[in-house]
C-alpha cells in the first residue's frame, strides 16, 4: 500500500506509480521538476508528493479496502488542507495505444476493454462493481456527498 511505502521512506518525497501503468521516458523527471507540493498525473495513477504533505495531510484512508475512492478521499483532504496540486490534464480524446489508455501526461493506464474493467469478466467484474459501489457509499457517508458535492468539511467517520 502507499501508506506502507510512506512509512518506509518517512522523510523522502515519493513518486508512486500504479502497477497497471507505464510512463513516458521523461515523466519522472518532469514530476520531480514541477514545483507544486503534489503532482498528479492521470489522477492518482502516478503521483509525486513531498514529504511535508504526507506529514500535514496524513496517510490514505485504508477503510476504502482494497482500493477505489481512497484517492478521491485524499484529493478532498488535500483541498481542505489548502495544498497546491499540479494536475496534469487528461486527454479528452483518449488515445488507445497497445490496448491501453494514454493521456497527454505520458501515462498509460489500464487495459482498454469496452466490455469490462481491466478485461475482467464474470465474478471478478462483479466483485469489482460491488467493491466500487461500497467504497462510493463510504465516501458519500464520510463527506456528505459525491465528489464536488460534499457538504462536510470534517469527515464523518461513524
Label residue 87 by pLDDT band (50, 70, 90). Answer: confident
User: What is the pLDDT at residue 146?
Assistant: 96
The DSSP symbol for 145 reads: S
Higher-pLDDT residue of 17 and 63 is: 63
For residue 149, pLDDT over 90 is answered with: yes
How far apart, in Å, are the Cα atoms of 98 and each of 32, 93, 111?
A: 27, 16, 9
Mean pLDDT of 127-150: 95
Q: Rounded to an integer, what distance in angstroms lies between the CA atom of residue 48 and that of residue 25?
A: 16
3-state SS class at 104: coil
Label residue 134 by pLDDT band (50, 70, 90). Answer: very high
For residue 155, pLDDT over 50 is answered with: yes
Q: Rounded to an integer, what distance in angstroms lies between the CA atom of residue 74 and that of residue 80?
A: 10
The CB density around residue 83, as the number of other CB atoms within 10 Å, is 18
Q: Quote the pTM value.
A: 0.82
Mean pLDDT of 74-80: 95
Long-range contacts of 31-37 (CB under 8 A, 24+ apart): 34/86, 35/86, 36/84, 36/85, 36/86, 37/83, 37/84, 37/85
Q: Rounded to an integer, what distance in angstroms lies between the CA atom of residue 60 and that of residue 112?
A: 27
Amino acid at each position: 500500500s502507499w501508506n506502507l511505502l510512506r512509512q518506509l521512506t518517512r522523510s523522502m518525497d515519493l513518486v508512486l506509480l500504479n502497477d497497471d501503468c507505464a510512463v513516458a521516458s521523461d515523466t519522472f523527471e518532469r514530476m520531480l521538476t514541477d514545483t507544486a507540493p503534489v503532482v498528479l498525473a492521470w489522477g492518482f495513477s502516478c503521483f509525486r508528493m513531498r514529504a511535508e504533505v504526507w506529514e500535514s495531510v496524513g496517510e490514505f484512508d485504508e477503510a476504502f479496502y482494497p482500493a477505489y475512492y481512497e484517492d478521491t478521499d485524499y484529493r478532498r483532504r488535500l483541498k481542505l488542507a489548502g495544498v497546491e496540486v499540479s494536475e496534469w490534464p487528461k486527454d479528452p480524446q483518449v488515445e488507445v495505444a497497445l490496448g491501453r489508455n494514454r493521456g497527454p501526461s505520458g501515462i498509460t493506464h489500464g487495459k482498454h476493454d469496452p466490455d469490462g474493467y481491466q478485461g475482467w469478466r464474470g465474478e471478478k467484474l462483479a466483485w469489482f462493481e460491488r467493491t466500487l459501489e461500497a467504497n462510493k457509499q463510504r465516501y458519500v457517508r464520510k463527506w456528505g456527498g459525491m465528489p464536488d458535492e460534499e457538504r462536510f468539511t470534517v469527515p464523518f467517520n461513524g
